[in-house]
């Protein structure tokens, strides 16, 4: 019979934080395995040293490389992959011999640990059990005695190896945060904290619960003294109006509750600022216009649908306000409130803000006389239809129409009537919002309506995620369009009589009409 494989978390450093179950399994094991660096003691073994029987078989799995260079032809990744394969073979030999193997993991086995690579290779072949352990961030938070997250706060755990702009953005968008994997990344992490406005409340913790533990504000840390076994705790309370008090749900979710509070009280001595509505383009940074970049570089607040706000680089002093995709007018009022109070605000949209974007929602909300003092400016962006058309060739080189198939703001009979009118007028048609999780039949219905007057071989372009990772552009025909493959990430362009597909698959529409 095969032996049983255990992944056992031994906690963050203090042996007294090892669970009773972990201690029992270590004492009963036939084989105790652990990872270590070249010439270094295993931290996991050190934590569990007093629990390991003297006559147990030990397997020290020594990393071939940690931060240095390697001669492996596959580089660091190749060297580590080969190491994990060899380590798994060593443990498998014991398991095949019927021995119980306990692999020690510092902290928790499934939290940034090497145990997972053994789990991937062994758990399908041998009976496996995971014993959770106290993770290092829990010990660090206890060390600084700071409430981490309350009520509906969001906790984000980030590796310091992320690019600095991404770290800054994520830190600005969360309440509580833990930043792992410091060491050489510390200067970049400190800069990201400052850009996100979180530096003043960030605490650095080194060797949590171990001998030599220390903690101090991140702003006071010497970067030259930071080891890998350190992390940063950013308490959720640090974004509250009163960092020592509990926040209400209303304060945390201003755009999603009723009644909607005015978050920034207008100050009579401050003059209302211009509200700028910015189109970010459909995806890559190179499609962001210089004018849009200039606006985003000087505003104090960015308001928008979360995926679009995420695309705005974080910088010192910038406050980000994200919300879902069905609260456009509430979002607009929130931005107008900020501008009325004298704050510099940009409302962001993907593509062009005036094409099924936030511009119309802002003007709708601004009809309220309370916002009469707020000037509004719209900064254009590259639209999704332009991006898809350019990838395909020149399908909108002649007259064309643009429609959304979403019936959230207009009934389907209206959509159907407009589809027929466009088809009968022989216009190229660009279709936004063709389908969603709750709208699964409308593409097929639109296809049926268009085929009443359009030829079956009318060219159709399906652009998916154009300008983003995973981009694809497919050219098909109206009859062969597979409606069930279309989702919200797609934009469709349906040709007219003057639209032609070339031998190499390019699509263009004539400028003249016969």
pLDDT in tens, the chain (514 residues): 689 999 999 999 999 999 999 999 999 999 999 999 988 899 999 999 999 999 999 999 999 977 667 778 888 888 899 999 999 999 999 999 999 999 999 999 999 989 999 999 999 999 999 999 999 999 999 999 988 999 889 999 999 999 998 899 899 889 999 999 999 999 999 999 999 889 999 999 999 998 889 999 999 999 999 988 899 999 998 776 554 444 433 333 344 333 334 444 444 457 899 999 999 999 888 999 999 999 999 999 999 998 899 899 888 889 989 887 778 999 999 999 999 999 999 999 999 999 999 999 999 999 999 999 999 999 999 999 999 999 999 999 999 999 999 998 899 999 999 999 999 999 999 999 999 887 889 999 999 999 999 999 999 999 999 988 889 999 999 999 999 999 989 999 999 999 999 999 999 999 887 7
- Residues 85 and 362: their CA atoms lie apart, in Å, by 57
**Taking the CA of residue 375 as centre, how many other CA atoms within 13 Å lie in the half-sphere pointing to its CB?**
5
Could you give the C-alpha distances from 511 to 74, 164, 403, 425, 499, in angstroms and in order? Answer: 54, 47, 21, 15, 10
- Residues 62 and 83: their CA atoms lie apart, in Å, by 9
Q: Residue 211 has what pLDDT?
A: 86
Q: What angle do CA 176, 180, 184 make, to 5 degrees?
A: 130
| Topology, domain 385-509 | 3.30.950
Q: Residue 67 has what pLDDT?
A: 65
Answer left, alpha or beta for residue 207, where phi above 0 means left and psi between -120 and 50 means alpha.
left
> In terms of DSSP bridges, do strands 202-206 and 214-217 run parallel, antiparallel, or are they unpaired?
antiparallel
The domain covering 254-379 belongs, at the CATH homologous superfamily level, to: Tetrapyrrole methylase, N-terminal domain (3.40.1010.10)
Burial grade of 73 (CB within 10 A; 0-12, 13-18, 19 or more): exposed
| Topology, domain 5-133 | Cobalt-precorrin-4 Transmethylase; domain 1 (3.40.1010)
Name the token pair of 210.
């171990």
CATH dotted code for 137-239? 3.30.950.10
Q: Does 5-133 match 254-379 in CATH topology? A: yes
Q: Residue 258 has what pLDDT?
A: 36
Domain boundaries along the sequence of the chain: 5-133, 137-239, 254-379, 385-509
Burial grade of 119 (CB within 10 A; 0-12, 13-18, 19 or more): buried
Q: What angle do CA 191, 193, 198 make, to 5 degrees?
A: 145
- Residues 180 and 158: their CA atoms lie apart, in Å, by 6
| Contact (CB, 8 A) for 357 and 279 | yes
């Amino acid at each position: 019979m095969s032996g049983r494989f255990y992944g056992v978390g031994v906690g963050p450093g203090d042996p007294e934080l090892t669970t009773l179950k972990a201690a029992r399994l270590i004492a009963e094991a036939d084989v105790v395995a652990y990872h270590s660096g070249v010439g270094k003691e295993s931290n996991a073994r050190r934590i569990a040293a007093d629990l390991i029987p003297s006559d147990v078989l030990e397997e020290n799995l020594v990393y071939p490389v940690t931060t240095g260079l390697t001669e492996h032809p596959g580089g660091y990744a190749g060297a580590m992959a080969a190491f994990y394969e060899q380590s798994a073979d060593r443990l498998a030999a014991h398991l095949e011999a019927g021995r119980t193997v306990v692999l020690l993991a510092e902290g928790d086995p499934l939290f940034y640990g090497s145990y997972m690579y053994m789990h991937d290779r062994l758990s399908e072949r041998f009976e496996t059990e995971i014993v959770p352990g106290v993770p290092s961030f829990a010990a660090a938070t206890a060390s600084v005695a700071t409430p981490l997250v309350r009520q509906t706060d969001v906790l984000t755990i980030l590796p310091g190896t992320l690019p600095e702009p991404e770290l800054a953005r994520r830190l600005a968008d969360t309440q509580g945060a833990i930043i792992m994997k410091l060491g050489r990344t510390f200067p970049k992490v400190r800069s990201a904290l400052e850009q996100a406005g979180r530096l003043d409340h960030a605490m650095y913790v080194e060797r949590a619960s171990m001998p030599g533990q220390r903690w101090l504000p991140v702003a006071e840390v010497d970067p030259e003294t930071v080891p890998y076994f350190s992390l940063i705790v950013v308490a959720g309370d640090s974004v509250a109006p009163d960092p020592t008090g509990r926040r209400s749900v209303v304060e945390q979710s201003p755009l999603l509750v009723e009644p909607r509070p005015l978050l920034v009280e207008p100050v009579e001595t401050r003059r209302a600022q211009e509200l700028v509505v910015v189109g970010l383009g459909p995806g890559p940074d190179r499609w962001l216009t210089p004018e849009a970049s200039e606006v985003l570089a000087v505003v104090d607040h960015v308001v928008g649908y979360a995926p679009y706000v995420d695309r705005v680089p974080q910088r010192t002093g910038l406050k980000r306000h994200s919300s879902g995709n069905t609260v456009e007018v509430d979002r607009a009022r929130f931005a107008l409130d900020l501008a009325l109070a004298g704050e510099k605000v940009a409302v962001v949209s993907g593509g062009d803000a005036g094409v099924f974007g936030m511009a119309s929602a802002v003007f709708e909300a601004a009809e309220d006389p309370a916002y009469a003092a707020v000037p509004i400016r719209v900064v254009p962006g590259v639209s999704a239809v332009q991006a898809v058309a350019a990838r395909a060739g020149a399908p909108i080189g002649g007259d064309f129409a643009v429609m959304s198939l979403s019936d959230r703001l207009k009934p389907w009979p209206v959509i159907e009537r407009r589809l027929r009118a466009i088809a009968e007028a022989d216009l190229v048609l660009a279709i936004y919002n063709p389908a969603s999780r709750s709208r699964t039949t409308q593409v097929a219905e639109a296809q049926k309506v268009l085929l009443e007057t359009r030829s079956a071989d009318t060219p159709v372009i399906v652009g998916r995620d154009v300008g983003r990772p995973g981009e694809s552009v497919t050219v098909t025909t109206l009859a062969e369009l597979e409606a069930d493959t279309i989702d919200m990430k797609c934009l469709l362009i349906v040709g007219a009589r003057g639209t032609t597909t070339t031998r190499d698959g390019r699509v263009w529409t004539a400028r003249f009409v016969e």
